[in-house]
Structure formats: structure tokens, C-alpha cells
């Protein structure tokens, strides 16, 4: 049987790599807390989407499983087992490592039983003045009184007895909301020491004051709970009907979706848990024990004092003087292709591409694919300015970008009002390509400029995500890019096949399989053969089988996979020539880079696509070649920097234990730091060469 790790089990291994950062002694305290928040946020989305999907398959019955190659019950059990173990470790990290280190730095998280008299008075006044209208106390009476729990909101489940009842073993139950959606989760208290700061978690303020909410009852205990609701949109892959209206209706239903997880304090007694299961009609697959506090993504908003030593050392984005200071970015692109690698390089060059296009009198057309966009976007402002200046501007807006549907609809409407020609989603497909084109009249002839990228046109994520893009005026690439936009706008298939670009729904997967097959044939002939693949996720079984075959024939394969990796490296006679690592560090590794030795005629590609079924079969993606030899060498160097990482790289193997890569060299290589200084040296050298040429 072909070795294969289920995508969701592999994803949990990735999220554990995020959790590892929170206990890495080399990571500053602020960053540790940030990684705890990222881990928690990731897990919430995972349950709302992936686990919800498994649960629905189980509930729908065996008729829905004809094409499945796994048993959803077994996957659910394994998921819950893994997550339970991780949650225990999460609690241990927070209580035993984070809280004590905060205290050492003068920031104390106080429990309610250790407050001073002044602090008690403060939280009682705060509760009465700010919290009382939001706590919504409800006495539960079996299924007769069953309150609706808002998705991801925090509640306390109370165990009580009536002061009048004689049988003190007969319990009553109630629910109280923790209003963290209205108020800060971490509240600063009057300090007991002038040199320190004291904080209390909002949940504990509610705990302290609940005795006043249920007169006539003695409250024995309280336990935190949270309900996660199904976030999947369930849009059928049909080719008729108003897709935009379906999206809007689905968004309205999202907050009231079926329960996909009840998170509860693992110290909760069985009788209370059983009662809640009955009231909210939950089964065992819906239950997930955690620590005392939930919604730990609220740690993103922890109130800091601002100590710089508790954060990563600054790595200010590198200014690309050649572009950013140019009178026109198009004059620079004409001289040759230009690489932009955020967040190491400044994103100003990309913004300048749009802003120059908006004001340049020679520009006639701008086209862009919008998948995810910042709330405040200079790029979108430039598009609207371009319309005012008489340009023809068109945008393809993908409204099926999960959790960005509402934002994309908003931007689509704003662009339309400004006069931009907006095309929306293709039913049954997501458009995930990351590219834009600008048409300019030069010497009475039209010339096309293009920016291809592995990431979205999103100014905020450009500071956090590691992505690679290329500005080019190469006619072989730009002419094919215009054909992609024509297809998106007209839905008419291009009359010519793509030769340089690989495009989803056309030639993307066949091209990749052909490149792997070529390396395989070279290895069979005893010739050098190598593949280096960097991506977010590797899950498509056909691609994995092709890599297994290549490995078995002797192709040297190196993988850098941030997230899901369903391929199992290092198995004798199957994948023994495959080595895989994952890098989790201060920036989110998001770029996709594919290298093939190709009999010495090295081929390097950048891509919007991961090797997942959804990307290769159900999306419009683009893979674009690096044609400039200097950029090709730079990208190859960047790959090898990551392959040599012995600080933040983890080994991906059948054990799934995320062991750190350690080697015998004395030099510590942290690839994200090495990449920054490598690109900084390149820019300095470029500046020197430019000055010499000017002299």
C-alpha cells in the first residue's frame, strides 16, 4: 500500500510546529505569546471547517462515503486524540512558562483569590458599570430552556444548589456569558507595586461577581465553555444561478451553523458535561477538553508595556532604491526582470507599480486578480484613481476566498462604484492566481508589463508572509498573461495553448507531471536528476505517486513544506531519496518555488499553487518560469539557504514528531535571518554597480 498521511493529521503536525515556537528558549517572550495565539486561531478555523466536514460526513451516513479512501470516524478519533494532547501541552506552556516569565518582567496575571482589597473593589465596580448588561445569565432547565450560544463566544457553566433545597446533591445549572466580544480580555488592575503591572483575565471578573446574578442559589463551581459552529459555506459546484447571492446568504447563516466543537474546561465534572451534551444535543465527537481559559487567540491583544527586548529584533524592509526612487517603474522593468521578495524587500515597489500606472498618461489598461486585500489598501485606491484618470481598469474578484468573502464583496462594490469593471467568481472554481498587467502605449505601440507573485496583493500580509514576485515585460510571459485575463473576463477558452505559463484547468498539472517524468527518465539513464520543491502543502496523491516513482528511480528530491505533507519521506525503495523539512519562524513561509535540474538546463518556477487536489483540479492557478538567469541564481541560492537551516527547520517523516534539524557544523543558520542579509548584500552590490556605471 502506498504510504500516505491524511491531510488533516499532517496539518495538526504543522500546527504543533507553531506550538513548538512558544516553548523555544530562543524565542522572545512577546513572540512566544504570539505563537500561542496563532496556534489557537489556527485550531479554531480547523474545527470550524475541516472537523465540521468530517462530522457532517459521519452524520450523513455511509452512502456519502463511496469515493472516500478513509473512515471519517477513525480520522475524527485520531484528530481528537492529537488535539487533546496538544491542548494539555498548551496549558502547561502558558501556566508554567509564559505566566512566570511575564511576572519576571513585571507583568502579573492575577487570579481572583489573590487580589488586594483595592483590586477587588476595582473589579466589582468594573463589572457593575461595564459588564453587567452583557453577561446574559440563564438558568438551564433541561431542554425546556436552551439558550443559543454564539459562535466562539465565551461562557461560564455554573453548578448551583438552591438555598432552600434539602438535598444538596441535587444540582442546578446555569450559563453566564463572558463579554470578551465587547471588552478587553486582559484588564489592567490598580498595581500593588509601582514598578509592576497587574492584569486579570475577564473570565475571572465574571467568576468573582456571579454570586450576585442568581439570588437564592449557592454557586459551587464554574467552568468555562465555548461552542464552535460550522463555517463551511456549502456552495454547490453548479453552473447556473446567482453565485453572489448564494455567497451573501451563506455568510448570513455562518454564525448560526451547526455545532462542530464544544470546548470545555477539562476539570469539569462528568455530571455537568453530560447535562450540557443533552441540552445542546452534542455527541462525543463534538467535545474537546482544554484548560481553564479558551479563545486564546485573544493573546494577540495582550497589553504590553512595550519592552523591545521581549520582541524579535527589527528587520526593517529593504528599500529597492532602483524602483522606489525611479521616475517611472516601467522604465526600470524595461531594462530587465526584477525580483521582489517580501517581507525582506519593501512592498513599496508593488504599490508603486499601481500608483505609477494610475497617473502615467501612457497607460491605457490595468487588470488585476483580487483574492485577499487589506482593509485599507493603497493598491485599491490606485485602481480607483486610475479610472478617474481615464484608464480602463478591470478586476477579477474571487468572493469564495474563505473568511474574506465579505471583505471581497465590499471591495468589489467599491470598485464598481468607482467605475472599475468587476468580474466575480466562476461557479465551481476558485481563481487563485496572483498577477496583474498594465498596458502602456510606447512609440505608438502597445507594451504589456506584468507582476506575477506567489502571494496576494495585500499590504498587511506583505509584512508577515514570505512571498516572491517578479516584475517583467518579457513578451512571452505578458502575452500569455493577457490570455488568462481574457478567459476570466469572457469565459472563452484561449485559442492558443499556453507555452510558458502553466494555468489551472489547462496545462498546469500535466506540465508538472511531465517535469517530474523527465527527471525520472534521466535517473533511469544514470544521469544527474534533482527536484527541489518549496510550497505550503503537498497532498495530491497523483503528484505524490509521481515523486515516489522518481525517488525509486534515483532522483534526488528535497522538499520544503510549511504545512500539510501527505507524502512520507525516507521509506526504503519508495521514498528513500526524498528528504523533507518544514520551517516555522517569525514570517509565514508562503512562497511556492519549483526547481528541476532538467539535464543541466535548470528550470525554476514560481507559483500561486500548492500541490493539493483543490489547487490542481478546482482552481485557476498560474505557474510562471523565471527566465532571467540572474534571478534564477538568486532564487536557487534562497532555496539552498533554507535547505541548510539548522535552527528553525523541522524534519518531516513518518514519526510526525517534528524533530529539529541539527547538523555537525558549528555555524547556526537561521534561514529567515540569512535570507534578509543575503538580499541586503545583493542590494548593496547593485547600488555599487549602478554608481560605477553612472561614473
Instruction: Locate the DSSP E strands across 35-130.
Output: 107-109
Going by C-beta distance under 8 Å and a sequence separation of 6 or more, which residues neighbour residue 145? 138, 139
Examine residue 622 and say whether the peptide bond preceding it is cis (omega within 30 degrees of 0): no
- Cell digits of residue 181: 466580544
* Active-site residue flag, 54: no
From the list 445, 436, 350, 368, the residue with the least C-alpha distance to 408 is 368
Residue found under cell 505608438: 444
Q: What is the pLDDT of residue 246?
A: 56
Mark residue 352 as left, alpha or beta (left: phi above 0; alpha: psi -120 to 50; beta: remaining): alpha
Q: Which class in CATH covers the domain with range 7-303? A: alpha beta
Q: What is the pLDDT of residue 253?
A: 58
Reported as a single tens digit per residue, the pLDDT across 158-201 is 999 998 877 777 899 999 999 999 999 999 999 888 888 999 99
What own/partner pairs with CB < 8 Å and gap ≥ 24 does 39-43 have?
Answer: 39/15, 39/90, 39/296, 40/90, 40/295, 40/296, 40/297, 40/299, 41/297, 41/300, 42/15, 42/18, 43/15, 43/83
Asked whether the CA dihedral 354, 356, 357, 359 is positive or negative, the reply is: positive
CA atoms within 13 A on the CB side of 158: 27
Cβ pair 202, 180 in contact under 8 A: yes
Radius of gyration of the chain (CA): 28
- Cell digits of residue 408: 471581497
Q: What is the pLDDT of residue 245?
A: 62
Cβ pair 347, 462 in contact under 8 A: yes
Asked whether the CA dihedral 293, 296, 301, 304 is positive or negative, the reply is: positive
**Global confidence as pTM:** 0.93
Q: What is the pLDDT of residue 304?
A: 81
What's the count of helices (H) and strands (E) in the chain, helices before strands? 20, 27
Q: What is the pLDDT of residue 683?
A: 96
Q: What is the CATH number of domain 321-496?
A: 3.30.870.10
Q: For the chain, what are the domain ranges?
A: 7-303, 321-496, 503-684
* β-bridge pairing 172-178 and 603-607: unpaired
Going by C-beta distance under 8 Å and a sequence separation of 6 or more, which residues neighbour residue 203? 154, 156, 178, 180, 224, 292, 293
CA gap 465, 672 in Å, rounded: 11
Q: Among the options 54, 365, 432, 590, which is catalytic?
A: 432
Q: What is the pLDDT of residue 241?
A: 46
From the list 672, 686, 677, the residue with the least C-alpha distance to 631 is 686
CA gap 604, 629 in Å, rounded: 10
Q: What is the pLDDT of residue 52?
A: 79
Q: Decide: helix, strand or coil at residue 399.
A: coil
For residues 521-536, b (16+ Cβ closer than 10 Å) or e, as one string? ebbeeeeebbbbbbbb
7-303 shares its CATH topology with 321-496: no
Cβ pair 274, 287 in contact under 8 A: no
From the list 489, 474, 483, 476, the residue with the least C-alpha distance to 506 is 483
Cα–Cα separations (whole angstroms), residue 517 to 318, 522, 533: 39, 9, 15
3-state helix, strand, coil in the chain (%, to 5): 45, 20, 35
Cα–Cα separations (whole angstroms), residue 254 to 89, 229, 247, 371, 405: 31, 8, 10, 20, 12
Cβ pair 40, 291 in contact under 8 A: no
Pick 503-684's CATH classification: 3.90.850.10, 3.30.870.10, 3.10.129.10, 3.40.50.970: 3.30.870.10
Q: Decide: helix, strand or coil at residue 657.
A: coil
Reported as a single tens digit per residue, the pLDDT across 213-268 is 999 999 999 999 998 777 655 444 332 345 556 555 655 655 556 666 789 999 99
Q: What is the pLDDT of residue 235?
A: 41
CA gap 608, 536 in Å, rounded: 10
What own/partner pairs with CB < 8 Å and gap ≥ 24 does 271-277 have?
Answer: 271/171, 272/157, 272/159, 272/171, 272/173, 272/223, 275/140, 275/173, 276/157, 276/173, 276/225
Asked whether the CA dihedral 520, 653, 57, 63 is positive or negative, the reply is: positive
Which residues of the chain fall below pLDDT 70? 1, 60-67, 142-145, 231-260, 695
Q: Please name every residue paired with 165 in a beta bridge, in sequence order, or none if there are none.
A: none
Amino acid at each position: 500500500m502506498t504510504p500516505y498521511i491524511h491531510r488533516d493529521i499532517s496539518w495538526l503536525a504543522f500546527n504543533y510546529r507553531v506550538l513548538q515556537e512558544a516553548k523555544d528558549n530562543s524565542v522572545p517572550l512577546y513572540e512566544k505569546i504570539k505563537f500561542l495565539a496563532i496556534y489557537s486561531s489556527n485550531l479554531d478555523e480547523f474545527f470550524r471547517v475541516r472537523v465540521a466536514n468530517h462530522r457532517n460526513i459521519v452524520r450523513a451516513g455511509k452512502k456519502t462515503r463511496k469515493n472516500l479512501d478513509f473512515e471519517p470516524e477513525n480520522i475524527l478519533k485520531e484528530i481528537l486524540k492529537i488535539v487533546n494532547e496538544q491542548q494539555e501541552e498548551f496549558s502547561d506552556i502558558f501556566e508554567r512558562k509564559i505566566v512566570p516569565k511575564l511576572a519576571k518582567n513585571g507583568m502579573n496575571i492575577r487570579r481572583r483569590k489573590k487580589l488586594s482589597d483595592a483590586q477587588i473593589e476595582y473589579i466589582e465596580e468594573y463589572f457593575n458599570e461595564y459588564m453587567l448588561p452583557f453577561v446574559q445569565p440563564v438558568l438551564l432547565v433541561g431542554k425546556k430552556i436552551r439558550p443559543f450560544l454564539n459562535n466562539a463566544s465565551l461562557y461560564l457553566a455554573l453548578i448551583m444548589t438552591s438555598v432552600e433545597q434539602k438535598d444538596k446533591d441535587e444540582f442546578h445549572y446555569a450559563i453566564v456569558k463572558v463579554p470578551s466580544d465587547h471588552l478587553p480580555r486582559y484588564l489592567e488592575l490598580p498595581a500593588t507595586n509601582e514598578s509592576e503591572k497587574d492584569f486579570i483575565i475577564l473570565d475571572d471578573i465574571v467568576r468573582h461577581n456571579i454570586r450576585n446574578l442568581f439570588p437564592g442559589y449557592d454557586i459551587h463551581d464554574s467552568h468555562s465553555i465555548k461552542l464552535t459552529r460550522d463555517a463551511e459555506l456549502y456552495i454547490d459546484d453548479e453552473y447556473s444561478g446567482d453565485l453572489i447571492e448564494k455567497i451573501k446568504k451563506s455568510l448570513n447563516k455562518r454564525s448560526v451553523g451547526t455545532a462542530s466543537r464544544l470546548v470545555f474546561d477539562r476539570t469539569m465534572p462528568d455530571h455537568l458535561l453530560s447535562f450540557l451534551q443533552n441540552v445542546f444535543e452534542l455527541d462525543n465527537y463534538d467535545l474537546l477538553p482544554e484548560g481553564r481559559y479558551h479563545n486564546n487567540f485573544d493573546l494577540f491583544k495582550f497589553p504590553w508595556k512595550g519592552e523591545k527586548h521581549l520582541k524579535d529584533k527589527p528587520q526593517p524592509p529593504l528599500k529597492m532604491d532602483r524602483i522606489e526612487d525611479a521616475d517611472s517603474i516601467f522604465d526600470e522593468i524595461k531594462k530587465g526582470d526584477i525580483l521582489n521578495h517580501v517581507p525582506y524587500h519593501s512592498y513599496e515597489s508593488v504599490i508603486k507599480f499601481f500608483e505609477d500606472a494610475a497617473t502615467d498618461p501612457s497607460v491605457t489598461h490595468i487588470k488585476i486578480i483580487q483574492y485577499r486585500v487589506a482593509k485599507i489598501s493603497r493598491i485599491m485606491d490606485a485602481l480607483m484613481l486610475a479610472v478617474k484618470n481615464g484608464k480602463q481598469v478591470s478586476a477579477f474578484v474571487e468572493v469564495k476566498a474563505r473568511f474574506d468573502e465579505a471583505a471581497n464583496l465590499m471591495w468589489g462594490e467599491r470598485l464598481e462604484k468607482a467605475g472599475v469593471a468587476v468580474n466575480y467568481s466562476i461557479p465551481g472554481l476558485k481563481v487563485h492566481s496572483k498577477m496583474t498587467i498594465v498596458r502602456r502605449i510606447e512609440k505608438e505601440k502597445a507594451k504589456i508589463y506584468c507582476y506575477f507573485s506567489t502571494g496576494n496583493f495585500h499590504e498587511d500580509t506583505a509584512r508577515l508572509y514570505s512571498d516572491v514576485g517578479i516584475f517583467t515585460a518579457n513578451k512571452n510571459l505578458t502575452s500569455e498573461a493577457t490570455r488568462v485575463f481574457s478567459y476570466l473576463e469572457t469565459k472563452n477558452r484561449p485559442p492558443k495553448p499556453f507555452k510558458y505559463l502553466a494555468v489551472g484547468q489547462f496545462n498546469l498539472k500535466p506540465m508538472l507531471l511531465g517535469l517530474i517524468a523527465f527527471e525520472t527518465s534521466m535517473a533511469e539513464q544514470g544521469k544527474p536528476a534533482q527536484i527541489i520543491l518549496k510550497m505550503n502543502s503537498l497532498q495530491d496523491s497523483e503528484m505524490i505517486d509521481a515523486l515516489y516513482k522518481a525517488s525509486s528511480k534515483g532522483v534526488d528530491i528535497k522538499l520544503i513544506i510549511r504545512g500539510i505533507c501527505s507524502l512520507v519521506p525516507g521509506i526504503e525503495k519508495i521514498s528513500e531519496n526524498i528528504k523533507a523539512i518544514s520551517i516555522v519562524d517569525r514570517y509565514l513561509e508562503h512562497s511556492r518555488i519549483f526547481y528541476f535540474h532538467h539535464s543541466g538546463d535548470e528550470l525554476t518556477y514560481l507559483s500561486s499553487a500548492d500541490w493539493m487536489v483543490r489547487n490542481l483540479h478546482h482552481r485557476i492557478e498560474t505557474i510562471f518560469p523565471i527566465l532571467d538567469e540572474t534571478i534564477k541564481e538568486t532564487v536557487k541560492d534562497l532555496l539552498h539557504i533554507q535547505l541548510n537551516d539548522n535552527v528553525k527547520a523541522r524534519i518531516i517523516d513518518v514519526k510526525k514528531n517534528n524533530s529539529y534539524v541539527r547538523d555537525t557544523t558549528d555555524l547556526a543558520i537561521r534561514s529567515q535571518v540569512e535570507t534578509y542579509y543575503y538580499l541586503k548584500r545583493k542590494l548593496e552590490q547593485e547600488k555599487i554597480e549602478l554608481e560605477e556605471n553612472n561614473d
